Every structure is written in structure tokens, then in C-alpha cells.
A and B are shown apart, each in its own frame.
Chain A
């Protein structure tokens, strides 16, 4: 485990020297613009700022707890293919019974290497390694005292290369991710006092490795208008990207294997010149995840368009 970051950076360095394409930009593969999705990580590296992402949902914890998250994420390209990300979340927990709590979650850091971009087939793919830094968040909202590493692969594919006979499907695209969250601690032991007997009890909370998987199916009105058929749609409809995201987690071991949780998130993104706005419903896929519908919304800035000559460009090796 301790060699995972080293392996990741070595793979990135190897890919970097093998790469041939020089024309990278945020979220583009050929004529396809991939918006930043709200519930899953993007398949590209970029100079972007999500400020804020707000979500709220009632979870089944403690007889029903309203959880509201306000987060900020910033992504910065080091080279045209290699980027880093930093994220932080403020969480407010309002249980049906008991005390409300709020505080910051653990700091989240990530590196991503975009190893594939095929303009003709509107395909894009990246390798990423994230870490939730244990002990940097507030224990009152359940931030883990241990770190969790998350290697993964991220991909995007536009349908613009479909035959003309089914050209109406060309505005569709799919993005997705597949990764594993690997906690550095297999379990947490804590001693509690039984209210009735007054005796001390040992509680063991297990932390399984978790398969993180999901995808988003998008329909780009922007693509429809500019690549397939000009429908003369007025603003703001001409910049809409309706989508549905599937964000899923499946524990792999430690007694919880196969107990998948997740949400299906239908919504819409409006993408402008310098920023995009998105909102989605958050629908639990099963009772284990919850029984109430939540909502997530995000304001997301394209730093490479806002500051093309300064912070919006890679630190090394690229004009874009």
C-alpha cells in the first residue's frame, strides 16, 4: 500500500514520455465537450473550480439524519496531461433524534493522468489516485481517523462516430469511473459505556475495501445544435445537457461484500463560456442507501477560459 503513490507517479511519467498528442483542453475530445459531472469524477484533467457543490439528503443513520454537504474542489493542470485536485467539504448532520453536528470532512487530494484522447471517436480516459487524508477532519461528523487511498480509471465516450442513419443518437455521451477505495485501517475499535448496565463495551467498526463505480449518460443540446441538426433552439435551452448519473459503491470484504449502495441522479447542466451550473435529484437505489430523495447542485468555473494566460494553463509544457 505504501508504494501505491510511487507506482502511480511512475506510470504517469512513463505514459507522459510515450504520449504523442499535444492538443489537450478542458473536457474536449474532438467535437465533444464533456461537462464536469456532479456526482462522479471527470475523465479529463483541467483547470477548474467547483464552488460550491451543495447536496442534501436524509440518510438512514440514527433513525434518519439530514446530511447537508457544502464542498469546494479545485483542479490544476501540472502538464497538459497531468493534474492535481484538492477538495474539502463542510458537513452538517441533523439527526431525527440526538444532537446536530457540523464540521469539516477529511482533506481530499488527488492526482490524475489523462493517457488517452481520441478526437475522431470522442474518447478520453484517465488514471487517477486519490487520498482522503485521515485525521484532518472533524470526528463529530464521522471523519475517519485513518486515510483511504482510491486508485481508479475514468473514461468518456461521445457517440458522434455513429452512422448517419442514427444521427439523432450522436448527441449522447457516456462518462464513467471504476476504482477501489482502500482504507489504511481494517477496523476501528472504540470503548463505549452501556447506559443500562454501566459496563464498558468494545465496539469494532470494520472498514472494507470498496469498489467505487458509476457512470453518467448525457445528451448534449450543444452538440445537437452544432454538429447534428440546428433546431434553432433559443437560449438557455441551446446550452443544456440533460443527464442521469449512477453513483454506486460495493464493499468487497470484511463481512460487507456485495452490499451495494448508491444513488441514481437525474438532472441537467447548463454550460456557458466560463462556468456551468448543474442540479440533480439524488434517488437512493435501495433501502440500505436511504428512502428519501435528495438534491445536489453545483456552480463550476472553467479556469482555463477565465484565465487563459495565467492560472488557467498548465504549469509546464503546454499553451492550452
Chain B
């Protein structure tokens, strides 16, 4: 018990441990809840942890529930915490982004947000 507590404090204080955690959404493009003037080419989401792409997904739905993305979710080549999915040209409306990711330590998290295209 004593060793465990000491290890805990060392990990936190030094910040050198190779541990991972639950992946939270850090930032997105289009950003969460925003309004964009024209259709974006893709949705990008950067997470707080590195992601296992084989078990992770991003889907984009229109207001009727139809999936609009090109189903080509992929990890960024230089950033293992950044996921992309391509989009066709979107018309005006509100779109819902639904994501589910598995961080490299196998923790599962998910979430969703909307963005609006004006023209």
C-alpha cells in the first residue's frame, strides 16, 4: 500500500509515466456547436489521448438522421490523437457528429455535438 501511494505521487509529480487515460475531446473542426458559412471538407477531432483507429469512429448525420460522411475515418499521419472523416458538399442545415473512440489503453469514450452550415 505504501509503495503504491508513493508510486502514485511520483507518477503525478514527475509526469514521466507512460500511462494513458480516458480520451476526451480536446478540440474539433468545425468546432463544437459552431456555425460555419459553407460546407467543411472534413470533420477533425483531436483527443486528449492517442487513439486506436481500428476501434474508433466518427459519423456525421443530417437532421433526418441520414449518415453524410464518406465513412473513411482515419488517424492523422503525424498525430495519433487526431481523427479525420471526409465529407461531401453539405447543404444548409444542422449536422450531428457522433464519435466513439478507444484510447491506446483500451478505455472507451464517446460523445456527440452539432454544427450548422448556413449556405
Query: Taking beta carbons and an 8 Å cutoff, which residues of A are in contact with B?
Result: 23, 25-26, 28, 30-31, 33, 49, 51, 119, 164, 167, 222, 225-230, 232, 273-275, 301-302, 304-309, 311, 319-320
Q: A320: which of B5, B20, B107 is its contact (CB, 8 Å)? A: B107
Q: Which A residue sits closest to B106, measured CB to CB?
A: A319
- Cβ distance A318 to chain B, nearest Cβ, rounded Å: 10
Q: B32: which of A26, A225, A301, A308 is its contact (CB, 8 Å)? A: A225
Q: CA separation between A227 and B21, bound complex, in Å? A: 19
Q: Are B32 and A311 in contact (CB under 8 A)?
A: no
Q: Are B21 and A274 in contact (CB under 8 A)?
A: yes
Residues on the A chain within 8 Å of B28, using CB: 230
Residues on the B chain within 8 Å of A319, using CB: 106
Q: Are A306 and B11 in contact (CB under 8 A)?
A: yes
Residues on the A chain within 8 Å of B27, using CB: 230
Given A308-B19, A308-B105, the answer on whether A31 and B110 have CB atoms closer than 8 Å is yes
Q: B8: which of A30, A228, A229, A306 is its contact (CB, 8 Å)? A: A306
The answer, yes or no, to whether B111 is at the interface (CB within 8 Å) is yes
Instruction: Pull 21 A–B residue pairs with CB atoms less than 8 Å apart, ordered by A.
Output: A25-B22, A28-B22, A31-B111, A119-B110, A164-B94, A225-B25, A225-B32, A226-B24, A226-B25, A227-B32, A228-B32, A228-B113, A273-B48, A305-B20, A305-B22, A305-B107, A306-B17, A308-B19, A308-B107, A311-B4, A320-B107
Q: CA separation between A115 and B19, bound complex, in Å? A: 29
The answer, yes or no, to whether B12 is at the interface (CB within 8 Å) is yes
Q: Are B48 and A28 in contact (CB under 8 A)?
A: no
Q: CA separation between A33 and B23, bound complex, in Å? A: 11
Q: CA separation between A134 and B105, bound complex, in Å? A: 41
Given A305-B20, A320-B106, the answer on whether A229 and B33 have CB atoms closer than 8 Å is yes
Given A51-B5, A226-B25, A227-B111, the answer on whether A306 and B19 have CB atoms closer than 8 Å is yes
Q: CA separation between A226 and B12, bound complex, in Å? A: 25
Mark B24-55 against chain A: 1 for CB-CB distance below 8 A, else 0. 11011001111000000000000010000000
The answer, yes or no, to whether B114 is at the interface (CB within 8 Å) is yes
Residues on the B chain within 8 Å of A167, using CB: 33
The answer, yes or no, to whether B112 is at the interface (CB within 8 Å) is yes
Identify the interface centre among B17, B24, B27: most chain A CB within 10 Å of its CB. B24
3 nearest A-B pairs in the assembled complex, by CB-CB distance? A229-B33, A31-B111, A305-B21
Q: Which A residue sits closest to B104, measured CB to CB?
A: A308
Q: CA separation between A273 and B50, bound complex, in Å? A: 13
The answer, yes or no, to whether B109 is at the interface (CB within 8 Å) is yes
